[in-house]
Amino acid sequence: MKDVNQSVPKAEVKGDPKGDVGIKIILADTQAIYRVGTKKIFAVEDDIRVVAQAETLGQVLAASQKFPADVILFETAVSTNPPEAVSEILRRAPKAKIVVLVAEMDEDDTLEFFRRGVKGIISRAISPEMLVKCVRKIAEGETWIDNQAVTWVIEAYRQQAAQLMTPRNRAKLSDKELLIISCVTQGLRNKEIATELNTSEQVIKNYLRKVYDKLGVSDRLELALYCIHHQLLKPPKTENGSGEAPSANGTDPEKQPEEQSVSAQA
């Protein structure tokens, strides 16, 4: 079946609009020789069809919308920031299952890819038989991961669980950080928190990054779980036995007005 060239801005995506039978695949690879070879591997399989090819991220995004696919084989060299590229592809084609092709396995990259939502990671050295098997398993809803990557993922979850359960010193968090955490647990978005605290959304993002680093969490959900486990927002007792939560400007309620004004501008 011949490829039909489809024009897209500043790029060209090779696609097959008739590939509507079986597992539909988009090949995203910077090297034409690999795209040609991979397509030949799938050509002899009755249940697999290559519906589009791409060599840049722009082409991948265009192809994912023009030719909806079950599986996208994505070589990391297609983007200078592969994890972000994965997130962008899934935003535009949430039903697609992404399999990342890497030159060699790396622990940090592996964990980040799975956090971003990829369904499998394979090496360029994978055999044709295993590649076909991988695509079929992914299309069926399974995850493709080798033994080394399994070890990395399990260890990462163990460390995460240990961090969530290990008591930490509340004094490491400033009043403003606690206030921002309180807003997050109430379901407020960064923009809404920024409006509430009379600051910019970027400032809130910067504060949250520091909070994540201090507590050893990676996102809002983990932050909420940490708060539950450690009663992070429970007001500390003062000398007279009462508890006071941080005020709206992130300062201690007993501070003088002029001190509050300086703190609010920080």
pLDDT confidence bin for 149, thresholds 50/70/90:
confident
Q: For the ranges 127-141, 158-172, 187-201, 225-239, which has the lowest average pLDDT?
A: 158-172
Question: Do 11 and 134 sit in the same domain of this protein?
Answer: yes
The domain boundary, picked from 113, 146, 179, lies at 146
Residue-wise pLDDT tens digits, 210-232 = 888 888 888 888 888 888 777 77
How many structural domains are present in the chain? 2
Residues 6+ apart with CB under 8 A from 96: 26, 64, 68, 69, 70, 71, 72, 89, 90
Question: Do 260 and 133 sit in the same domain of this protein?
Answer: no
Q: Is residue 254 part of a domain?
A: yes
Q: Is the pLDDT of residue 7 over 80?
A: no
Check residue 52 and give its pLDDT. 96
Q: Is residue 228 part of a domain?
A: yes
Residue-wise pLDDT tens digits, 168-179 = 544 478 888 889
Q: Is 62 exposed, middle or buried (0-12, 13-18, 19+ CB in 10 A)?
A: buried
Q: What is the mean pLDDT of the chain?
A: 79
Q: Is residue 227 part of a domain?
A: yes
- What is the value of pTM for the model shown? 0.54
Check residue 166 and give its pLDDT. 58
Q: Is residue 154 part of a domain?
A: no
Q: Is residue 172 part of a domain?
A: yes
CA gap 144, 118 in Å, rounded:
9
Angle at 34 between CA 29 and CA 35, to 5 degrees: 60
Q: Is the pLDDT of residue 113 over 80?
A: yes
CA gap 102, 143 in Å, rounded:
16
Q: Which of 34, 12, 99 is nearest to 3 (CA)?
A: 12
Question: Do 117 and 212 sit in the same domain of this protein?
Answer: no
Q: Quote the domain boundaries for residue 126.
A: 4-146
